[in-house]
Amino acid sequence: MTQEVSKEIGGEPIATPGLIDYLIAVGNRKSLVVALTLIFSLAGLASAYLLPKKYASITVILPPQQNSSATATASALSQIGALTGMSTAGLGGKTPDEMYVAFLKSATIQNAIVRSQGLAKHYGAVVESDARATLNEKTRAISDKKSGLITVEVVDVSSDVAAGIANSYFDELQRMLGKIATTESQLKRLFLQGQVESARVSLLKAEEEFKSERIRSGFVVSQGLAEGNVKDSLTLRSLITSREVELSVARRFATERNPDVVKLDSELAGLRAKIAEIESGVDQQKSDTKSSSKGVAAYREYKVREAAYESLVKQLEMAKIDEANDGPLVQQVDVAVPADRPVWPRKLHLAIGAGSVGLAIALVWVLFSTAVASDPRLSEKIIQLVGSWRQSKEK
């Protein structure tokens, strides 16, 4: 049977169409179904020529590659002998790619791109923050975990603008990384620069104090007497500087609870206590005469500061060499070029999508009209429904 009989309502049986009835109805009106599908498909294809085209430009960036610091540390500290410090092999490796993706999405970089590319006018934005929000929507930055490469894709109605923005991301990232320290060699160089400046100020102060003491007392300091602990003090100061560099780098990649960080903290505390004891002159002053103890202490302080300054300057120079050997901070693997084909609108996708909508409308109409035709009471209810809505609008 092609029809199912429902329960009687008002003494009259109502025939409900079955699946076969619906299929027959679609077959009888296949011309309507095909026509609507074709009309909508052609409309979707036509819209592809009317909608504004969008182009995508892609640039691929290689972020800084960080290596183990063991070799650099040993070279920088070779002047004070073999060290028994922390192994930094586990602290090297790549900086997480997510950090560089976050840099690319930062307001600093995006604001700079908005200004350099004139995007506020291009996007028709009233304020810079609106232009930045639009830029953020049109940009996609992702990192490949396997290769370590970062891909930046920019979509715009102009292929030239899209390529310019994509390349600007690389330029601005390179400029940002030039201002902040991200690699171990950079951290070491910045740390040593601060230490050198501090040592220079201490040296000048110690020299002035020594000259003042010599003029005041008028004595000649015995070098053998004064330099008794200079060598030991220099070695300890160099060792302290080395450990501070290692600790600064370690804290960049590890927490305070890390065993190596804890070990370095403990070593530094012991070294600082030892050098404080030596430079206070407690041991030496026991053998100094009362009249020359101040002069000896001033001379010793001057020589220690001088040697420490020279040692730090040498380490800074080697740190700069290590930083230069690291190569460029970031490298642009693929330079963005203007795209020759738009990524949107896609004619085939629009035609298929619009055609699917037309097919769905045609099928719904055929099935609905079949159901109404099989049940006159349903059509009466629909007429009543439409009438009730019309009355409500008139009121």
What does the domain layout of the chain look like in residue ranges?
A: 16-51+345-394, 55-70+83-182, 184-325
Q: What is the 3-state secondary structure (H, E, C) of 22-35?
A: HHHHHHHCHHHHHH
Burial of 295 per CB tally in 10 Å (0-12, 13-18, 19+): buried
Mean pLDDT of the region 76-104: 51
What Å distances lie between residue 30 and 2, 22, 39, 326, 371, CA to CA? 19, 12, 14, 71, 17
Query: Which residue blocks in the chain are alpha helix, DSSP H?
Result: 19-28, 30-50, 70-76, 97-104, 107-117, 119-123, 128-137, 159-177, 184-217, 223-226, 230-253, 259-279, 282-285, 293-325, 347-374, 376-394
pLDDT(80) > 50: no
For residues 15 and 3, the answer to whether their CB atoms sit within 8 Å is: yes
In degrees rounded to 5, what are phi and psi of residue 17?
Answer: -65, 145
Most confident of 69-73, 96-100, 251-255, 375-379: 96-100
- The three-class DSSP label of residue 142 is strand
Please, what's the b/e burial string for 150-167 (b: 16 or more CB within 10 A of its CB; e: otherwise)?
bbbbbbbeebebbbbbbb
- Band of pLDDT at residue 109, cut at 50, 70 and 90: very high
Model confidence pLDDT, tens digit, residues 188-212? 788 788 888 988 898 899 888 888 8
Task: Of 44, 51, 34, give the one whose Cα is nearest residue 353.
Answer: 44
- Band of pLDDT at residue 351, cut at 50, 70 and 90: confident
Task: Of 246, 241, 248, 242, give the one whose Cα is nearest residue 202.
Answer: 241
Model confidence pLDDT, tens digit, residues 250-281? 776 567 888 878 888 888 888 888 877 766 65
Dihedral (CA of 228, 231, 237, 239) sign: negative
- Band of pLDDT at residue 292, cut at 50, 70 and 90: low
Task: Of 121, 127, 135, give the one whose Cα is nearest residue 172.
Answer: 135
pLDDT(8) > 60: no
Bridge partner residues of 15 (DSSP):
5
Record the pTM: 0.54
- The three-class DSSP label of residue 338 is coil
pLDDT value for 2: 45
